[in-house]
Amino acid sequence: MDQPRKAPYRCRRTGQDSPTDGPYFEESLGYCEAPGDDRELTVYHSPAWIRSICEAPGSPFVPMDRGALVALEAERDYLATRVEELEAEVASLRSTAASPIDVQALASALVVPLRQEWQRKPGPKAA
């Protein structure tokens, strides 16, 4: 959102509340700032705070712009489609490999050409 809309009306970590510092992320997590404080405050995160989280050493979060995110989503969709195609191909290959093999036809196809090859003997050489 452009500007915090509930109390405390600012980012708890940076104190930012201006629309020029936004947009803000509103978290549905109530908290109290001090013991005995009975107000439920809403947590807001400013872009500066989120950026500092991402840039902290060892942080698993990586900031990226919208264009990079769109490119990653397109690559994910392409890869998901490719995985489906490959799974269908594997299933097809498995069904082909599971079909019974006619051993006699295979032997005939291999043995007959081999016998013909060995039957060819060189004749006597011309004098």
Q: For 75-123, what is each residue's pLDDT tens digit?
A: 999 999 999 999 999 888 777 765 667 777 777 777 766 666 666 666 6
Instruction: Give me the mean pLDDT over the 36-40 stretch.
Output: 69
Q: What is the 3-state secondary structure (H, E, C) of the chain?
A: CCCCCCCCCCCCCCCCCCHHHCCCEEEEEEECCCCCCCCCEEEEECHHHHHHHHHCCCCCCCCCCHHHHHHHHHHHHHHHHHHHHHHHHHHHHHHHHCCCCCHHHHHHHHHHHHHHHHHCCCCCCCC
Reported confidence tier of residue 32, pLDDT bands at 50, 70, 90: low
Rounded to two decimals, the pTM is 0.40
Reported confidence tier of residue 69, pLDDT bands at 50, 70, 90: confident
Reported confidence tier of residue 31, pLDDT bands at 50, 70, 90: low
